[in-house]
């Protein structure tokens, strides 16, 4: 979802329609829409062309914004998207939900998903 959101933001920032971006990339408007919604994945070649056309850094598009563990040894670094950090911070404000997620993440996510699908 992060990839699609960031591609869409960059396209809009450049006042480009999905059709225009698709023409530059050699794919349909439907493909661009799919990339932005996260229902389609561009080929590696198309991904590289997208970041070049939209003048984006690959790490940014992939959600690798912030080092959340900073150690001298690079093997201990974890890089996360700003959006992921924001979700975690908001979860910590809801102590009960945060604790449930920590104790049984899979089950809690399933329950939340079912509730949202109603």
Q: How many domains does the chain have?
A: 2
pLDDT at residue 72, as a whole number: 66
Q: Which of 4, 30, 5, 35 is nearest to 19 (CA)?
A: 30
Query: Does 102 lie in the same domain as 80?
Result: yes
Host domain of residue 104: 66-117
What CATH code is carried by the domain that includes residue 43? 1.10.260.40
Query: Does 106 lie in the same domain as 73?
Result: yes
Residues 49-92: tens digit of each pLDDT: 999 999 999 989 988 877 777 666 666 677 788 888 888 888 88
Query: Does 75 lie in the same domain as 52?
Result: no
CB 64 within 8 A of CB 3: no
Query: Does 85 lie in the same domain as 105?
Result: yes
CB 10 within 8 A of CB 56: yes
Q: What is the 3-state secondary structure (H, E, C) of 26-46?
A: CCCHHHHHHHHHCCCCCCHHH
């Amino acid at each position: 979802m992060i990839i699609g959101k960031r591609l869409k933001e960059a396209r809009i920032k450049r006042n480009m329609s999905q059709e225009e971006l698709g023409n530059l990339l050699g794919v349909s408007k439907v493909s661009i829409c799919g990339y932005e919604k996260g229902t389609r994945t561009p080929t590696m070649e198309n991904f590289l062309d997208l970041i070049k056309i939209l003048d984006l850094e690959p790490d940014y598009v992939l959600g690798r914004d912030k080092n959340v563990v900073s150690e001298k040894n690079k093997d201990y670094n974890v890089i996360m998207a700003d959006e992921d950090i924001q979700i975690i911070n908001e979860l910590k404000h809801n102590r009960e939900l945060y604790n449930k997620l920590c104790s049984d993440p899979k089950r809690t996510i399933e329950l939340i998903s079912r509730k949202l699908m109603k």
